[in-house]
Amino acid sequence: MTIVQMNEDAVEIAKQLDLEREAKKMRGPLHGMPVLIKDMIATHDGMETTSGSWTLFGTKPSAESTVAVKLREKGLIILGKTSMSEWANFRSLNSSNGWCARNGQLYGGYYPRQDPSGSSSGSAVATDLALSLFAIGTETVGSIVLPSERNNIVGIKPTVGLTSRYMVIPLSERQDTVGPMAMTVKEAAMLLQAIAGPDPKDNYTLASPFGDKLPNYSAACKMSGLEGKRIGIPRNVLDYLGASGAPVLSAFEAATSVIRNAGATIVDNTNFTAYSDFLKSPEPALVEAADFTSGIAAYLASLEKNPNNFRNLKDIRSYTQNDSYEEYPSRDTGVWDEVIAAGINNTSPAFWPMYQRTLYFGEEGGLLGALSRNNLDAVILPTLIASDIPAVVGTPIITVPLGAYPDGTPIEYNARGNLIQKAPGIPFGISFLGPKWSEEALIGMAYAFEQRTLVRHQLGRRY
């Protein structure tokens, strides 16, 4: 199932919004539109907020998330909360994308037992199946863009700080962001408009250069969005697609011709110079571990209702390991075990120097260096390998459908052996990467590409 819990108030909310429409009191262009939100985004109503786990069932946040407040203020109807990869894929070393204890295993819609990717798995599948006009996901590393590509939809991972994370179950305060998932670029842009903006309850949003005067993201959706743009290709990152990525690479190369014909200049070999060092370094994962240790303790302390008196990650791990519904040890707590063993939080003396070292992988040695050295507006990559470097520096990504694995593609299973990652008909995407706060330009580029290719409309489900 894609939805872990329906909003029992949704019908009454819809009736009230209809009355407002009749009285010509529209709250905005999305008045009365349905939206689903990931089960990490707190609402102060009858719905649970559990990160897909029974461990947090029965807890109650002290306030509603800013994102949920903004959605309601703009007249959207929160239909319910979507299933997800439990704890945003930050619990287990041997679980599977789209599985959570509260809702079981979710599948994508393009091949039997298809891996839906994650962790915003339910938001992606529900959007693809038109269970809602669009959905909200969260991303730390790939959790919006990866399930979006696997389910043939558009996903926007905003700059960290463009959207508030207040009362969203945290993973890493330096990397977490909340973003829209939709069938089209324009619909995603409209939803981004509704949830973006400063929030005094999330200091990261106060770094935004826009304040309350956001760009008009919908207006950026123009066929001319690629004209005059310089777009780079970091070939050394493409090398990591491997032999089984040949269909993706072929479609990607064809996409560069579309982009050129739309008026952009392609600049090749704009490499991420420290990429191989990044892949070998343990420090990016330690930054996430330190942030999670501090962030989850703060979230637990903020709860209005905490029936099991959870205080920290050790408490959550203990409960999880002793709850049969959590399928431990078949699905282990290996990530948490490593986090606890690291013994670091984001106030530890070792943390800040380590964090500064990891920034190099995304700055001079990564995306920002490539953009600066080559005077680029954006970089493009297959979505499968696009999310790790932007995560380090909190920069935006937008993914658009690119194609699907062709007939004859050998079936490839995930490590657990219960999901199919590659098979004929399973979709993949292309991502546009830019500097912080460049969503307006990226949306324009993605829209211009989308409208020239219309891949989503060409891919059909095979079962």
Runs of H (alpha helix) within 151-308 = 185-195, 235-238, 246-261, 275-280, 283-302
- Marked catalytic residue, from 65, 117, 123, 143: 143
Query: What value does the mean pLDDT take over residues 307-335?
Result: 99
Quote the tokens at residue 125: 């599948």
Measured CA to CA, the distance from residue 421 to residue 220 in angstroms comes to 34
Among 38, 74, 157, 422, the one annotated catalytic = 38
Q: Does 463 or 154 have the greater pLDDT score?
A: 154
For residue 407, give every residue at least 6 positions away whose Cβ sits within 8 Å of its Cβ, in sequence order, or none. 424
Q: Residue 299's Cα: distance from chain center in Å? A: 20
d(C-alpha 391, C-alpha 233), whole Å: 18
The whole-number average pLDDT for the span 60-71 is 98
Nearby residues of 325 by Cβ (< 8 Å), 6 or more positions away: 54, 101
∠ CA(434), CA(440), CA(443), 5° rounding? 80
What does the mean pLDDT of the chain come to?
98
Dihedral over Cα of 303, 309, 312, 315: its sign = negative
Query: Which residue type occupies 170?
Result: P
Amino acid identity for residue 289 in this structure: A
Separation CA 138–CA 150 (nearest Å): 16
Tokens of 303: 């709860």
User: Is residue 463 very low, low, confident or very high in pLDDT (cuts 50, 70, 90)?
Assistant: low
Band the pLDDT of 460: cuts 50, 70, 90: confident
Q: Is 85 considered catalytic here?
A: no
Predicted pLDDT of residue 210? 98
Please enumerate in sequence order all residues whose Cβ is within 8 A of that of 158, keeping only pairs 6 or more positions apart, or say none.
177, 178, 179, 192, 196, 396, 439
pLDDT confidence of residue 1: 81
Return d(Cα 361, Cα 356) in angstroms, integer.
10
pLDDT for res 319: 99
Is the model's pLDDT at 462 over the cut of 70?
no
Answer for the pair 185, 221: CB distance below 8 angstroms, yes or no: yes
How confident is the model at residue 243, as a pLDDT?
Answer: 86
Give the helix/strand (H/E) hosting 451: helix 439-453
The CA distance from 95 to 148, in Å, is 20
244 included as an active-site residue: no
> At 195, is the secondary structure helix, strand, or coil?
helix
With H, G, I as helix, E, B as strand and everything else as coil, classify residue 123.
Answer: helix
DSSP per-residue string spanning 77-100:
EEEEEE--SHHHH-S-SS--TTEE
Do 15 and 23 form a contact (C-beta atoms < 8 A)? no
pLDDT of 244 reads 86
Which of 95, 119, 387, 431 is catalytic? The answer is 119
CA atoms within 13 A on the CB side of 463: 12
Q: What percent of the chain has pLDDT over 90?
A: 98
Partnered with residue 429 across adjacent β-strands are 401
Distances (CA, A) of 117 to 96, 127, 227, 377: 9, 14, 33, 29
Q: Which helix (H) or strand (E) holds 115?
A: none
Instruction: Scan for tokens 């993605």, then name that residue.
Output: 446
**Average pLDDT of span 67-80:** 99
Tokens found for residue 139: 């991303």
Domains of the chain: 3-457 (3.90.1300.10)
Which tens digits make up the pLDDT trace of 76-135?
A: 999 999 999 999 999 999 999 999 999 999 999 999 999 999 999 999 999 999 999 999
- The answer to whether 401 and 152 are in contact (CB under 8 A) is yes
Q: 429 with 450: CB under 8 angstroms?
A: no
96 has catalytic annotation:
no
How far apart are alpha carbons 60 and 106 in whole angstroms?
26
